[in-house]
Amino acid sequence: MDLNALAQAEINYGKYLLSQDHLYKKIPENQRSELIQQAVECGESAAENLVADDLRNYCRQEKIEIEFFQEELKAENFRFVLAEFQLPRLIRINQSLLTAAEPFLLAQDFFKDQRAADILLAHELYHYLENQQQLFTIKKQLMYQTGPFKRQARLHALSEIAAMSFAQAYLELPFSPVILNIALLYPIAPEYSEQLAKQLLVID
């Protein structure tokens, strides 16, 4: 798989991530691109507004615990948790996956000088900030109808889109962090990783 080409391609990762939301079909088609745009901007302005030179120091200051966890990696459980945020103040990062993918990542041109752990950390930190500051991605409710019932719910994909644009803007990455997810999975679950890459490329 040519990740450098993928990293340089103009990928509509917002469209891809939104399409993964379990409520995707309930979102009126004419609202989708605006929601994506709003989520991207929400992540970018959170990055602009964050007063912190260093994410780890910021976490220390906010008493956010960063836990690097280990797990046994098997290709058949390819739905690995790369990293996660747990309320109120815990960020967990999959160290086993980072260690396993490191040689592969270092061999990718697009990735040079970047630190995978920092990108994952930035993504998860956005989830802390969106809760803390009650940002658009938390507040936005989708109204929809199931049979006779009117319902409303959050669109979790908006948070994912904003977390990606936050990480990209804060770390000034020349590629979308979505590519990192694909790259991290490749050494352990190459087929699944390629499948994700293909989905990203055909989305537009």
User: Which parts of this chain interact with Zn ion (CB under 5 A)?
Assistant: 160, 163
The interaxial angle of helices 177-185 and 116-132, nearest 10 deg, is: 130
DSSP 109-149: GGGTT--HHHHHHHHHHHHHHHHHTT-HHHH-EEEEEETTE
Least Å distance between CB 25 and Zn ion?
21
Residues paired with 142 in a beta bridge: 153
Q: Which is nearer to Zn ion, 66 or 163 (CB)?
A: 163
Least Å distance between CB 150 and Zn ion?
28
Residue 88, preceding peptide bond in cis (omega within 30° of 0):
yes
Least Å distance between CB 66 and Zn ion?
15
Q: Which is nearer to Zn ion, 129 or 163 (CB)?
A: 163
Q: Which is nearer to Zn ion, 20 or 57 (CB)?
A: 20
Name the residue number minimizing CB distance to Zn ion: 163
Q: Which is nearer to Zn ion, 4 or 160 (CB)?
A: 160
CB 201 within 8 A of CB 178: no
Q: How far, in Å, CA of 183 to CA of 71, rounded?
A: 18
Least Å distance between CB 65 and Zn ion?
17
